[in-house]
Amino acid sequence: MDVTTCLTRAETTRDPEGFAVRYAALDDLIRMRRALGRPKDHRRADELVQLRT
């Protein structure tokens, strides 16, 4: 799975030691889960959608 486009939208923060920590945006996580196609990934994507509300 090519996640290059997700990296450009990734959120960045710093841990207490000053290291950069990057994480995918919620919509990108949902898209990645759905793209995997496994039933458990679809269930998790549905759970992530609920976080929006």
pTM: 0.73
H/E stretch holding 29 reads: helix 26-36
Hey, what are 50's tokens?
């609920």
Quickly tell me which residue has 């793209």 as its tokens: 35
Looking at residue 6, its amino acid is C
How does pLDDT run across 23-41, given as a tens digit for each residue? Answer: 899 999 999 999 999 999 9
Q: pLDDT at position 5, please? A: 86
How does pLDDT run across 13-26, given as a tens digit for each residue? Answer: 999 999 999 989 99
Residue 33 has a CB neighbour count (10 Å cut-off) of 20
pLDDT at 3 over 90: no
Hey, what are 45's tokens?
């994507």
Q: pLDDT at position 14, please? A: 96
pLDDT at 53 over 80: no
